[in-house]
């Protein structure tokens, strides 16, 4: 498909899910729109929704641009996505449980062992350990792009600590506050059940030694972390403790929290720090963020860690290419959501193709994230392409490449008025006693004209995501 799919307009006509929004935009004068945009920014600033970009000067508390024009899915479109996302989350968890156990998928020759066991995210410390309910990844953020009315592709999987859910919730809150009439006129599925669903999910994977209602805490690196707002926001909404490593200690086979009323047992840790920093006795000895001895308590059933240490091996962009095979291998089903076609530079034929066609491809580091470590060929200069080529030639195994997809576009408020901008979607799939998905997710929008990079650290913005109720 060469032409971008416009999610609102098709053949010069407004698609049904967006019909009422056309009247809304036509009835909004430019001055009111500017006033509402300023109001939204003031609300975001007041409630503290900011993020930091490491290694840059300027404002450390930068606002992620918010676009007031919502993105809309019909109930049928959402059901299709929901089934595919849940299927993928089940397969990814089956893969993680397998590779830390008998690694049957490797034995069967369905995925190369080197991609798993030589992967820097593979944690030997949990080999042979089965976490509660056999679940490694409890919050799976699956990034999805759309290229046509019925064409959805998975761009990547985030199995460790997918961020951005606070924006999904606050985008909706602010839209409802600014445009109550719009919500009265449209029946939209709510997303505000997410904190309760997350708490339920975490409680459902309490450790073996927990014989009561589990105590839950969110482990944060602290207020200098770029996602600290989200950590405190979720802790507040769930009614759980927000803790740093220095607030916790290990004793008698359990993890304890220091409180003003004395030590209190902590049963489930929703960690927002990387594996490497969790336990200086097991991982990085210089970590000041973790808890010495935590992994011993974890392996003995004294505490649950969500997502489990080692879940990152399923995030890897080279492993991503095998997820459809995981669906077939573990579930005996055909994938409901397709991957974007991908070339692995570790394979000689793929490597040759990528080097010859770099100007037309998106080339990514397998461990990269946040829009960094990637080259968008058609948008790059000859010098940028040649510099990136040298990186790929030096370490082919560190790179994959994908075609430049004709990403769908949605109407977006820009300086000149309303214009189409490219978007992706990150729904949040919760995996515990059951698999839950709130109807919606985080829509990220590339605000620069023609840009395909939606990451906030690279100039992208966010917008509310609607799923219309039946």
What's the pLDDT score for residue 62? 64
Q: Which of 387, 403, 419 is the last residue of a domain?
A: 403
Same domain, residue pair 68 and 160: yes
CA 379 to CA 360: how far, in whole Å? 9
Task: Give 213: exposed, middle or buried? Use CB within 10 Å, 0-12, 13-18, 19+.
Answer: exposed
The mean pLDDT of 100-120, rounded to a whole number, is: 96
Same domain, residue pair 92 and 131: yes
CATH number where 213 lies: 3.40.50.11290
What's the pLDDT score for residue 454? 79
Same domain, residue pair 151 and 278: no
CA distances from 408 to 86, 306, 422 (A): 23, 33, 6
Judge contact between 64 and 167, C-beta under 8 A: yes
Q: What is the pLDDT of residues 265-285, one digit of tens each?
A: 999 999 999 999 999 999 999
Task: Give 417: exposed, middle or buried? Use CB within 10 Å, 0-12, 13-18, 19+.
Answer: exposed
Q: Which of 367, 386, 403 is the last residue of a domain?
A: 403
> What is the secondary structure of 141-158 as a DSSP string?
EEEEEEEETTEEEEEEEE
CA 293 to CA 282: how far, in whole Å? 8
103 in a structural domain: yes
Over 90: is that where the pLDDT of 183 sits? yes
Confidence label for 57 from pLDDT (cuts 50, 70 and 90): very low
Same domain, residue pair 378 and 230: no
382 in a structural domain: yes
**Torsion-angle region of 247 (φ positive above 0: left; ψ -120 to 50: alpha; else: beta):** alpha
> What is the secondary structure of 58-92 as a DSSP string?
S-SSBPPPEEEEEEEE-HHHHHHHHHHHHHHHHHH
Same domain, residue pair 451 and 419: yes
Same domain, residue pair 96 and 236: no
Which residues contact residue 367 at a Cβ distance below 8 angstroms, ignoring those fewer than 6 apart? Answer: 120, 121, 316, 317, 373, 398
Judge contact between 313 and 319, C-beta under 8 A: yes
The mean pLDDT of 207-214, rounded to a whole number, is: 94
Confidence label for 54 from pLDDT (cuts 50, 70 and 90): very low
Same domain, residue pair 212 and 323: no
What residues pair up with 219 in beta bridges, in sequence order?
243, 271
Q: What is the pLDDT of residues 320-356, one digit of tens each?
A: 999 999 999 999 999 999 999 999 999 999 999 999 9
What's the pLDDT score for residue 379? 84
Q: What is the pTM of this model?
A: 0.92
3 in a structural domain: no
Structural domains of the chain, count: 3
CA distances from 138 to 23, 194, 305 (A): 41, 13, 10
What's the pLDDT score for residue 224? 86
The mean pLDDT of 375-387, rounded to a whole number, is: 90
Average pLDDT, the chain: 92
377 in a structural domain: yes
Q: What is the pLDDT of residues 77-93, one digit of tens each?
A: 999 999 999 999 999 99
Higher local confidence (pLDDT), 300 or 58: 300
CA 364 to CA 374: how far, in whole Å? 4
- Give the closest residue to 171 by CA, choosing from 157, 188, 155, 185: 188
362 in a structural domain: yes
Same domain, residue pair 183 and 73: yes
69-70-74 Cα angle (round to 5): 145
CATH number where 396 lies: 3.30.1490.270
Q: What is the pLDDT of residues 19-42, one digit of tens each?
A: 999 989 988 888 898 899 899 988
4 in a structural domain: no
244 in a structural domain: yes
Same domain, residue pair 90 and 195: yes
What's the pLDDT score for residue 53? 43
Q: Which helix (H) or strand (E) holds 366?
A: none
Over 80: is that where the pLDDT of 459 sits? no
Same domain, residue pair 242 and 145: no
Same domain, residue pair 365 and 438: no
DSSP state of 341: P
Same domain, residue pair 217 and 346: no
122 in a structural domain: yes
What's the pLDDT score for residue 269? 98
Task: Give 341: exposed, middle or buried? Use CB within 10 Å, 0-12, 13-18, 19+.
Answer: exposed
Q: Which of 369, 403, 437 is the last residue of a domain?
A: 403
Question: Where in the sequence is the domain holding 255, given as residue range(s)?
Answer: 208-302
The mean pLDDT of 240-262, rounded to a whole number, is: 97
Beta strands 66-73 and 460-467: pairing type? parallel
- Quick one: what percent of the chain has pLDDT higher than 70? 94
Residue whose token pair is 């975490």: 202
């Amino acid at each position: 498909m060469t032409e971008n799919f416009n999610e609102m307009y098709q053949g010069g006509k407004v698609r049904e899910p967006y019909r009422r929004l056309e009247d809304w935009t036509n009835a909004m004068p430019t001055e009111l729109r500017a006033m509402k945009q300023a109001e939204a920014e003031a609300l975001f600033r007041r409630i503290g929704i900011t993020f930091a970009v490491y290694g840059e000067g300027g404002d450390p508390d930068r606002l992620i641009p918010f676009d007031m024009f919502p993105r809309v899915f019909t109930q049928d479109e959402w059901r299709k996505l929901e089934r595919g996302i849940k299927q993928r989350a089940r397969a990814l968890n089956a893969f993680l449980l397998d590779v830390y156990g008998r690694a049957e998928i490797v034995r069967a020759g369905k995925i190369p062992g080197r991609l798993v066991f030589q992967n820097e995210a593979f944690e030997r410390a949990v080999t042979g350990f089965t976490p509660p309910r056999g679940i490694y990844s409890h919050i799976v953020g699956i990034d999805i792009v759309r290229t046509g009315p019925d064409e959805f592709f998975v761009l990547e999987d985030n199995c460790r600590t997918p961020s951005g859910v606070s924006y999904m919730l606050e985008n909706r809150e602010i839209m409802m506050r600014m445009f109550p009439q719009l919500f009265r006129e449209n029946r939209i599925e709510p997303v505000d059940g997410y904190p309760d669903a997350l708490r339920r999910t975490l409680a459902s994977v309490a450790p073996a030694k927990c014989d009561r209602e589990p105590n839950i805490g969110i482990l944060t690196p602290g207020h200098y972390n770029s996602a600290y707002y989200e950590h405190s926001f979720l802790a507040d909404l769930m009614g759980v403790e927000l803790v740093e490593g220095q607030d916790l200690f290990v004793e008698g086979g359990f993890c304890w929290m220091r409180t003003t009323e004395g030590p209190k047992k902590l049963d489930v840790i929703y960690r927002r720090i990387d594996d490497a920093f969790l336990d200086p006795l097991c991982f990085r000895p210089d970590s000041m963020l973790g808890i010495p001895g935590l992994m011993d308590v974890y392996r003995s059933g004294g505490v649950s860690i969500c997502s489990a240490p080692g879940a990152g091996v399923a995030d890897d962009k080279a492993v991503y290419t095998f997820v459809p095979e995981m669906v077939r291998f573990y579930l005996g089903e055909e994938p409901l959501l397709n991957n974007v076609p991908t070339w692995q530079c570790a394979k000689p034929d793929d490597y040759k193709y990528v080097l010859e066609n770099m100007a037309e491809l998106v080339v990514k580091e397998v461990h990269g994230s946040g829009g960094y470590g990637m080259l968008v060929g058609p948008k790059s200069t000859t010098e940028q392409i040649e510099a990136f080529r040298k990186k790929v030639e030096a370490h082919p195994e560190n790179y994959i490449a994908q075609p430049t997809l004709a990403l769908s576009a949605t109407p977006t408020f820009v300086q000149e008025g309303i214009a189409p901008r490219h978007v992706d979607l990150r729904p949040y799939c919760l995996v515990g006693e059951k698999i839950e998905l709130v109807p919606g997710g985080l829509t990220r929008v590339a605000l620069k004209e023609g840009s395909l990079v939606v990451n906030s650290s690279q100039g992208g913005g966010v917008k509310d995501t609607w799923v219309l109720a039946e």
